[in-house]
Chains A and B, each alone.
Chain A
Amino acid sequence: MHEISAEEQQQIAVCIGAFAPKRGSLVPILQRIQDEFAYLSGEAMRKVAAHLGITPGEVYSVATFYNQFRFHPPGKHAIKVCLGTACHVRGGEVILENFQRKLGIREGQTTEDKEFSIDRVACVGCCALAPVALLGDKVYGHMAPSKVEGLILGIHLEKERQEREKAKHESNNS
């Protein structure tokens, strides 16, 4: 679980305080918090519930109805798989499934080491390349299961390389 610092508590309170304590504020408040933190923590949802006089369960119920909300902090490498119409038709679902299996998490989740997260998105505007996945802001077209493997492997290798460099650098310095 991600710990909420005192500073973040304060930030959440500020987000919430900007809205009137009425039911209609629920979605706008959640959007504000998500803008700020990129996800909705349990603590944030409890605070929103208290502000609006409803239960955390009701907040969760509304929040999970919308695709725009996440409930885990995004990973360092945020993977987004397009499931817009074109990508869906070209097997986007299979690509999503591949990422999920490879990383052992489901869409909307983040790996324990906080390296990866997976989300589904609707059309990202390059249907000709379907099926499409995004790694951060970078678009990868014509995705295939082998490319999923390749992408993840690439990131792992890059990380190892950086760690080696760092180790070398440190030993050079000492």
Chain B
Amino acid sequence: MTKLLVDNKEIEIEPGTVLLEACLRNHIYIPNLCYLPGMPHPDASCRLCFVEIDGKVVPSCTVKVNGPMRVKTDTPAVRKLQQSALRLLLSVHEVDCANCPANKQCALQEIARFLRVGLKPKGLDRLLKEPSIVSDHPFIDFYPNRCVLCGRCVRLCRTKEGRPQMNFSARGFNTVISFYGANRESMPTCEECRSCLKACPVGALVLREPARE
């Protein structure tokens, strides 16, 4: 076991544990969207899980605890970066919680509350994608303007399936999740798996209403 000091709280953790995970397990909350336990190489794409170690700001999902450390999760530098990252995410997000299946269990809402950032930040243009619903999976609808591109779904699909059924497509502001080539024959396992649906921290992947099938 190795000891570390997080915000003046001493915690003990098995060496080799990811710092983000060590904190979360000890009830020290750090905002995060893209982290998936057990993945060898974290994407560290959401840029929300910052902490300060010896005055250096780093994403905590990329740090392994291998000895004593002093970590701060609540410095002005950390909060500023987290708030900016969140504001940018929200600037490409169609905030319509009342009509979203994730309402009240949404990671984005929770993080916004925690960081005290309004869901409709001022001073940034809102860029939305067209079309707002993509139905290229036999029974899952994808909502590009709710997706935070955390990549959890894609990475899980890749580990479960070996041959991924979903991928990122396009790039930059146009990046979306795509089920291109999906059909019932090519993906007989989707019915039972549904990993992507469960992993989505927001309401971007939704089981299609039977009425629309």
Contacts and interface: CB of A to CB of B under 8 A. Distances in A.
The answer to whether A binds B is yes
- Chain A binding site: helix, strand, loop or mixed by DSSP? helix
A55 interface: yes
B77 interface: no
Nearest to A55: B163
A141 interface: no
Contacts of A58: 164, 167
B29 interface: no
- Chain B binding site: helix, strand, loop or mixed by DSSP? loop
B103 interface: no
B166 interface: yes
Contacts of A45: 181
Contacts of B179: 57
B185 to A, nearest CB: 12
A96 interface: no
Nearest to A66: B171
B162 to A, nearest CB: 10
Nearest to B154: A61
B170 A57 contact: no
B134 to A, nearest CB: 13
Contact of B169 (A46, A49, A64, A106): A64
A61 B171 contact: no
Contacts of B165: 55, 57
A61 B174 CA distance: 12
B91 interface: no
A48 to B, nearest CB: 11
Contacts of B186: 55
A105 B164 CA distance: 30
Interface of A: 45-46, 49, 54-58, 60-61, 64-65, 106
Given A56-B180, A60-B178, A106-B130, 18 more contacts: A46-B181, A49-B181, A54-B163, A55-B165, A55-B181, A57-B166, A57-B167, A57-B178, A57-B179, A57-B181, A58-B164, A60-B169, A60-B180, A61-B168, A61-B178, A61-B180, A65-B169, A65-B171
